[in-house]
A and B are shown apart, each in its own frame.
Chain A
């Protein structure tokens, strides 16, 4: 059929947005994700475009069910984010947002590792402008840290793919796995780590919690949708069924919720819960059965939309009040009732209430875990699921919109923001209520699953209601930690405080040694000069200093002639 390369509509729109202004730009920006999404409908499975590069077969565009599903998702996410950003009069954000979405689409349709690498780096380069567009010092430096991590991930990917190209004589992007012989093992681990950085593995997760809350309100919506989901896609394609992912994933699902409970910046709370949700997906990919993989992919699909929705509501709060810290907000339900309701829909979706989107995908991963005998993993995921409800489901709406009245009076967010949030909220309910007709119909692997039975609904409701009961109890007895203006130490302390202090100390001592050596050398040179000059007589000491320059010359010529004479006869 008459389809074009998938990322092209978005990329061209980004280019057009660079030159167009006003309503013309708005129309192009709205049309691009719609046209791009419709374009995908016409794509046939298989290699869409292939070429040869330095003797390697490249497949820059390859279509299958897995890439198509992410393709649809990214176009929906781009459309919602574009609508949300329409009121912003900032070319940087518009161009960066669209080209970032285009890079994500390009990455999921990449059939070879080299194309994947190109889009992998483009993701980093385009998205960092969404952080810098905040135009504060904090945003600038956290953008730089973000870029360092993203580029590091790209460099590791490049090193890994070069090893693979050498060993297998092929660059095609298929299942990689971690079991290899010799040097290929190193390559496999390098690529694994590259994907790991982008999906915010523990200890390399701080680029996410650092940068996302520093971006502009609409920039964060783009950010939360693409980078990590591309990494999840890449893991699903290349490392499905690697058991180590189960353990990494369960760590990612559990540790951020502790941070989320004590974090004050509500967008940073959401960033921590983003890591927690990716943890669920990584566990699903690690289990590797078709049910688990379907669950992981479906959860990625749903997460983009409900996390986007929650980020959008917090973005609206930030946009209208200029504040985002839990300690400064509260009582906003009076002036922003629509945003409040939309936020509660997002909260219900992320905490997997029945009839909301999180329920239908999270329960797939949980069922797969228990079916494959991962008992403790299942228990921990259950804990993480309760914890999600606790921080993202209750804490976010409670501290922003209810709690004590902060006295802030404002108005609803602009219409385009409300429309974007409503679209996402409707999608959450539709995906959750009619999974078989929507997200399940797109799933890449063959597996029948029915989330709605009495057991699932009842047990999930018990879990959620009693998690809420814990919140009520802790709050009534003043045991809940109050929102305090604070910074909580995390792994980024290592490179933001420890390493700089350490390097500074080493640098200081190295410089100290250098300076003292330099000083003693200058002193000794001065000493030599002092010794060769007679200050009392006002002239230099030594034999040549007493002669005229011509006399000095004659002495040298005589010396040379003598030397020549001696050498001639030897």
Chain B
């Protein structure tokens, strides 16, 4: 990879990324299909839902990101939040 120059890194070309994603989608689809073909053990009744793990992973991660983004609305402060002397902070609290 090191012989690529600055502007033409492999991942800088949109068509390469598109190709990679297409492979990724196919793999995802194959994994879901495999769920119907392979007779996997079921340890828990929830696992009887077809493609339970796929759905759980996708929904779980989406919720994770949405909740985390929402958490930013009340948790985020400036980069030097703790460095600011608290006397100044008391003065500039009205802004």
Contacts and interface: CB of A to CB of B under 8 A. Distances in A.
A462 B31 contact: yes
Nearest to A490: B75
Contacts of A474: 62, 65
A337 B80 CA distance: 33
Contacts of B65: 261, 390, 470, 474, 479-481
Contact of A258 (B41, B54, B62, B71): B71
Given A402-B11, A454-B40, A488-B77, A462 B4 contact: no
Interface string B55-83: 11111111011111101101111111111
B43 A370 contact: yes
Contacts of B81: 487
CB-CB nearest 7 A-B residue pairs:
A470-B61, A261-B68, A466-B57, A455-B40, A462-B53, A466-B58, A463-B57
Contacts of A462: 31-32, 35, 51, 53-54, 57
A487 B79 contact: yes
A471 B61 contact: yes
Interface string B20-44: 0100110110011011001011011
Contacts of A479: 65-66, 69
Interface string A364-406: 0001001100010011001100110010000000000010010
A388 to B, nearest CB: 11
A502 to B, nearest CB: 11
A405 B8 CA distance: 11
A464 B24 CA distance: 12
B68 A469 contact: no
Contacts of B60: 382-383, 386-387, 467, 470
A467 B61 CA distance: 6
Contacts of A529: none
The binding surface of chain A is classed by DSSP as helix
Interface of A: 138, 257-259, 261-262, 331, 333-335, 337, 367, 370-371, 375, 378-379, 382-383, 386-387, 390, 402, 405, 409, 453-455, 458-474, 479-481, 484-490, 496-497, 500-501, 504
Contacts of B68: 258-259, 261-262, 481
B2 interface: yes
Given A386-B60, A390-B61, A455-B40, A337 B31 contact: no
17 contacts: A257-B64, A261-B64, A262-B75, A370-B44, A382-B56, A382-B60, A383-B56, A386-B64, A387-B61, A454-B38, A466-B28, A466-B53, A472-B21, A473-B62, A474-B62, A486-B79, A488-B71
B76 to A, nearest CB: 5
A468 B24 contact: yes
B92 interface: no
B57 A467 contact: yes
A397 to B, nearest CB: 12
B77 A386 contact: no
Contacts of B54: 462-463, 465-466
Interface residues of B, number: 55
B26 to A, nearest CB: 11
A43 B52 CA distance: 48
Contacts of B67: 258
Contacts of A472: 21, 24
B6 interface: yes
Contacts of A334: 1-2, 4, 6, 9
Contacts of B71: 258, 262, 488
Contacts of B72: 262, 481, 486, 488
Given A258-B68, A496-B82, A488 B57 contact: no
A128 B55 CA distance: 44
Contacts of B31: 458, 461-462, 465-466
A242 to B, nearest CB: 24
- Centre residue among B1, B24, B32, B34 by max chain A CB count within 10 A: B1
A488 B53 contact: no
Given A262-B72, A262-B76, A486-B79, A386 B6 contact: no
A497 B34 CA distance: 53
Contacts of B80: 487
Contact of A501 (B25, B77, B86): B86
Given A262-B69, A466-B28, A467-B58, A455 B82 contact: no
Contacts of A454: 38, 40
B12 interface: yes
A262 B67 CA distance: 10
